[in-house]
């Protein structure tokens, strides 16, 4: 089972060791718009003049600081409640109406923004940011931050802030928390194989060589041994994924891209030699080198056991994921610190990874009377204090660079020893396509399907050509 196959889970489930997918964590962890049960519908929010009183009291309707009922009392819930209480004390004229997000938030918010019934402020997954920007449904933060000089953008990692910059120069949201995609590995398996653990700056060749030595049959022979028993593999060097969010940066690492810089076509990009080589290399881990299980074998393995448990049990030596996986892995049965480490992505032509992120955004028609109050709230939510709690809950890296650096030496930080890898990897991070291309959700599904077929043995060139047609059709809708 891959990350995206895993049904949505709650933070409590994460603590119990349940795996979670990217979107779940971006919503509940990174995004912090936690809800699995229908709370007050966004359609009931409104944002009328009655929320700005004659004596200057302002009410902000906010989504992103509520956990599901079963998560009440969790560390995340405590962090939310303390932040809101402290903010109310320090800003008595600003009333915060904290609202639970309904299911299908990403689609519901577009409907409610169009109808004028959306909340004032919410936590937004960067992977679905572009449709909101392109439909002009978000407020340019520059119109708000000028009301509060202390709210400057220099507190954020520049690579993360870049996610929010529109083609018109606007800044449509300020970062909350994020994660680069890194490689998880089991150090004990490397030690048993007699090979050094990977280090920053390693290459695709290094990863393949390690995966070959870490793929073992029942007799302990590795993939390079002439007597390797194909029918009885007990340990795989790598766990692949068909899902684009776990491999598109391989194309970037090889100097390629999926679509043109102006996002008008995939022709000449996804079918360029750099992209074809990257896709073929990734597929060859399964098809040629056989250091990763076939899709059908992987499906059997993950149907029989949780993916986290399989990794901790040594069935896979490496896989790609974001910071969200730490919570589930460290809660898995049999986990010990010696079985888990992370390393930046291997490089080819260059170093590159994707940055998945959440941010605070504002409705495009926010009344001007609320501008300063919104700025004050976002200023507090992105400052040290609340941002320091990111390291305590352990779900994501703070987008406040000082808070992120501080977590590396904090005794309270849940993953202090591992977080440095994530922080360092940020320098080579790029915005996810979903933050720049409004139709990317559909394109992403096409890329997912393309890779699935390729991993099952379909020719790369033919699948890429077919997918380009589908992508260009979507891009033409912009």
Residue recorded with tokens 């029918």: 231
Rounded to whole angstroms, how far apart are CA atoms 464 and 455?
A: 13
Name every residue whose Cβ is closer than 8 Å to that of residue 261 and which is 6 or more positions away in sequence: none
* CA atoms of 321 and 306, how far apart (whole Å): 15
Q: What predicted TM-score, i.e. pTM, was given to this entire model?
A: 0.89
Angle formed at CA 158 by CA 274 and CA 86, multiple of 5 degrees: 135
CATH topology of domain 182-353+434-476: D-Maltodextrin-Binding Protein; domain 2 (3.40.190)
Cα separations in angstroms, 16 against 310, 389, 397: 15, 20, 21
**Tell me, what's the pLDDT at 18?**
31
For residue 38, the model assigns a pLDDT of: 30
pLDDT at 51: 66
Helix (H) or strand (E) holding 195: none
The ranges assigned to domains in the chain are 58-180+356-430, 182-353+434-476
The yes-or-no answer to whether 58-180+356-430 and 182-353+434-476 have a common fold is yes
DSSP conformation class of 389: H
The pLDDT value given to residue 50: 54
Give the residue among 244, 250, 184, 242 at the shortest CA–CA distance from 19.
Answer: 184
- Quote the CA–CA distance of 445 and 405 in Å, as a whole number: 35
Q: From CA 120, how far away is CA 97, in angstroms rounded? A: 10
- Per CATH, is 58-180+356-430 categorized as 1.10.1200.10? no
> In 367-438, which ranges are continuous DSSP H helix?
371-381, 389-393, 401-407, 416-425
Give 360's strand partners: 123, 174
Q: In tens digits, what is the pLDDT along the chain, a chain of 478 residues? A: 344 333 232 322 232 223 344 444 444 434 433 333 333 334 444 444 456 676 779 999 999 999 888 888 988 899 999 999 999 999 999 999 999 887 788 888 999 998 888 999 999 999 999 999 999 999 999 999 999 999 999 999 999 999 999 999 999 999 999 999 999 999 999 999 999 999 999 999 999 999 999 999 999 999 999 999 999 999 999 999 999 999 999 999 999 999 999 999 999 999 999 999 999 999 999 999 999 999 999 999 999 888 999 999 999 999 999 999 998 999 999 999 999 999 999 999 999 999 999 999 999 999 999 999 999 999 999 999 999 999 988 889 999 999 999 999 999 899 999 999 999 999 999 999 999 999 999 999 999 999 999 999 999 999 999 999 999 999 998 7
């Amino acid at each position: 089972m891959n990350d995206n196959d895993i049904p949505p889970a709650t933070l409590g489930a994460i603590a119990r060791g349940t795996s979670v997918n990217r979107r779940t964590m971006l919503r509940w962890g990174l995004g912090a718009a936690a809800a699995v049960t229908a709370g007050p519908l966004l359609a009931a929010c409104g944002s009328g003049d009655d929320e700005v009183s004659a004596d200057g009291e302002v009410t902000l309707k906010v989504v992103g600081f509520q956990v599901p009922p079963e998560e009440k009392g969790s560390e995340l819930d405590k962090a939310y409640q303390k932040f809101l209480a402290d903010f109310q004390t320090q800003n008595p004229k600003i009333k915060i109406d904290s609202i639970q997000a309904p299911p299908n938030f990403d689609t519901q918010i577009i409907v409610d923004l169009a109808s004028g019934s959306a909340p004032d402020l919410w936590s937004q997954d960067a992977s679905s940011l572009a449709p909101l920007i392109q439909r002009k449904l978000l407020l340019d933060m520059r119109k708000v931050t000028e009301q509060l000089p202390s709210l400057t953008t220099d507190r954020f990692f520049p690579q993360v802030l870049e996610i929010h910059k529109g083609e018109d120069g606007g800044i449509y949201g300020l970062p909350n928390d994020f994660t680069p995609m890194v490689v998880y590995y089991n150090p004990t398996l490397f030690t048993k194989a007699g090979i050094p653990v990977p280090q920053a700056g390693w290459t695709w060749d290094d990863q393949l060589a390690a995966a070959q030595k870490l793929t073992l049959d029942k007799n302990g022979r590795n993939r390079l041994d002439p007597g390797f028993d194909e029918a009885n593999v007990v340990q795989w060097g790598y766990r692949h994924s068909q899902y684009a969010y776990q491999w598109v940066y391989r194309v970037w690492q090889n100097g390629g891209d999926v679509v043109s810089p102006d996002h008008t076509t995939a022709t000449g990009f996804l079918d360029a030699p750099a992209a074809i080589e990257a896709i073929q290399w990734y597929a060859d881990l399964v098809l040629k080198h056989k250091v990763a299980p076939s899709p059908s074998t992987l499906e059997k393995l993950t149907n029989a056991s949780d993916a986290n448990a399989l990794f901790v049990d040594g069935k896979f030596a490496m896989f790609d994921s974001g910071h969200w996986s730490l919570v589930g892995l460290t809660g898995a049965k049999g986990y010990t610190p010696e079985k888990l480490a992370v390393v930046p992505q291997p490089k080819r032509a260059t170093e590159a990874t994707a940055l998945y992120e959440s941010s605070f955004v504002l409705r495009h028609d926010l009344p001007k009377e609320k501008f300063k109050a919104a700025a004050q709230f976002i200023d507090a939510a992105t400052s040290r204090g609340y941002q320091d709690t990111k390291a305590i809950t352990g779900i994501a890296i703070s987008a406040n660079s000082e808070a992120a650096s501080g977590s590396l030496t904090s005794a309270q930080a849940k993953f202090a020893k591992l977080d440095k890898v994530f922080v360092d990897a940020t320098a080579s991070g790029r915005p996810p396509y979903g933050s720049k291309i409004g139709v990317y959700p559909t394109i992403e599904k096409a890329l997912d399907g393309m890779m699935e077929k390729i991993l099952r043995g379909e020719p790369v060139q033919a699948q890429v050509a077919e997918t380009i047609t589908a992508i260009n059709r979507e891009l033409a809708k912009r």
